[in-house]
Amino acid sequence: MFSGRAWRVVRFGDPKAAVELQEMTWREPSPGQVLIRTRTAGAGLPDVLMTAGHFPLLGEPPFGLGEEVAGEVVAVPPGSRFAVGDQVAGITAFLEGWGGYAEYAYVREMSAMRIPVGMTDEQAGGFPIGFRTAYAGLVERAPVEAGQTLLVLGAAGSSGATAVQLGKALGATVIAIAGSQEKLNFCTRNGADHGVNYRTDDMTARIAEITEGRGVDLIYDPVGGDTAATALRSIARNGRIAMIGLASGAPVSLDSMDMLLRNYTAVGVLATGDDDAEKEAAVWDHLRGLAERGAITTPVGKVYGFDDVPRMIAEQIAPGAGKTVVRVA
């Protein structure tokens, strides 16, 4: 039995009133999970949705917050592919109410990897969700090929910035869409080939100019709403839109007649991982290999202390560039 503190949602509402730091105990992990002593945890917009009661996959409070973590394994079930003392990064058991803003965290064994040498704690804690989602979008559900053009919405955000990196690693030409010059500069440093400011530029004209009128092969869309609808005007024949999320507040609205007439496909992406544990472990090996070669690196943004979790959640409504991380210990 392990004891420690955990940030938990006790009621839906404003983060400062909704989350409390509670004393908890963690029993030995069930099959399929390992228990880690947490060092860092990745954060993002889903924390806002979970705290407000708008996250579709979670029920009523109380539940722990924090989808992804990095730390040291302290307990494993029999037959685990990890051992006590391993340094791992992975997705937590947040859907069962056990999150990562906590001194200990259950990690889904099949959704975890050993931390590559040279990866910092902050990079490790912010790696799992963004890159597993980008892999689901760009490799599994709507594969992007080398030489194709990938347009990434919300490109300075947690999901978008990882898709920019994975897209480049897969050989795509990447157009980043963001809402300020500062964020576009971040996207360029993060590997994007082109940047378009959706607030001040004529998006359609700029994309036509960049693609010489051809349009984009794939749109990676964690934003939805009007921005995604505008991006769809620039989709190439046989193009695809990978629907990831709704940072704008609404998912992209699709017009099936437009899809028919302009020959494009919409693909839903939820990075739940493959049910086959071996196939899922192979995905994490692939991601780990890319990180080891330096082809992908977590684009760490602001780092908060463990005591600052309520403020951190409130600030995710208008986050700065990059992946937000909480330093737990």
99 binding ligand NAP? (CB under 6 A):
no
183 lines the binding site for ligand NAP (CB under 6 A): yes
Please select the residue that binds ligand NAP; options are 135, 198, 220, 306, rule is CB under 6 A.
198
Residue 206 within binding range of ligand NAP, rule CB under 6 A: no
- Take residue 215 and report the two structure tokens written for it: 């349009």
Q: Closer CB to ligand NAP, residue 73 or residue 309?
A: 309
Closer residue to ligand NAP (CB): 72 or 96: 96
- Give Cα 269 distance to the centre of its chain: 12
Alpha helices in 19-113 (DSSP H): 45-52
CB-nearest residue to ligand NAP? 157
Give the residue with the Cβ less far from ligand NAP, 19 or 156.
156
Task: Note whether 8 and 50 are within 8 A (CB).
Answer: no
225 binds ligand NAP (CB under 6 A): yes
What is the distance between the alpha carbons of residues 54 and 48, in angstroms, rounded to a whole number? 8
User: Cα separation of 287 and 296, whole Å?
Assistant: 8
Could you say which residues in the range 253-292 bind ligand NAP, by CB under 6 A?
269-271
Closest separation in Å from C-beta 79 to ligand NAP: 28
Question: Nearer to ligand NAP by C-beta: 149 or 248?
Answer: 248
**What's the token pair of residue 253?**
């609205």
x/- contact string, 109-148, with ligand NAP (CB under 6 A)?
--------------------x---x---------------
75 binds ligand NAP (CB under 6 A): no
The separation between CA 273 and the C-alpha centre of its own chain, rounded to angstroms, equals: 13
Give the total of residues touching ligand NAP (CB under 6 A).
32
CB atoms within 10 A of CB 55: 18
Cα 48 from Cα 241, distance rounded (Å): 25
Q: Which CB, 20 or 274, lies closer to ligand NAP?
A: 274
For the chain, report the end-to-end CA distance as a whole number of angstroms.
19
Cβ neighbours of residue 143 closer than 8 Å, sequence gap 6 or more: none
**Site membership for ligand NAP, residue 159 (CB under 6 A):** yes
User: Is residue 245 within the footprint of ligand NAP (CB under 6 A)?
Assistant: yes
Residue 192 interacts with ligand NAP (CB under 6 A): yes or no: no
Q: Of 63, 23, 59, 64, nearest to 41 (Cα)?
A: 64
Of the candidate residues 15, 29, 44, 239, the single one contacting ligand NAP (CB under 6 A): 44
Which residue type, as a one-letter code, is found at position 75? A
Treating both helix axes as pointing N-terminal to C-terminal, what angle do 203-210 and 225-232 enclose, rounded to 10 degrees?
40
> Considering beta carbons, is residue 100 or 160 the nearer one to ligand NAP?
160
> Is the CB of residue 106 less than 8 Å from the CB of residue 26?
yes
For 255, phi then psi, to 5°, come to: -115, 110
Query: Residues in the site for ligand NAP, rule: CB under 6 A?
Result: 44-46, 49, 129, 133, 153-154, 156-160, 178-180, 183, 198, 222-223, 225, 227, 244-248, 269-271, 316, 319
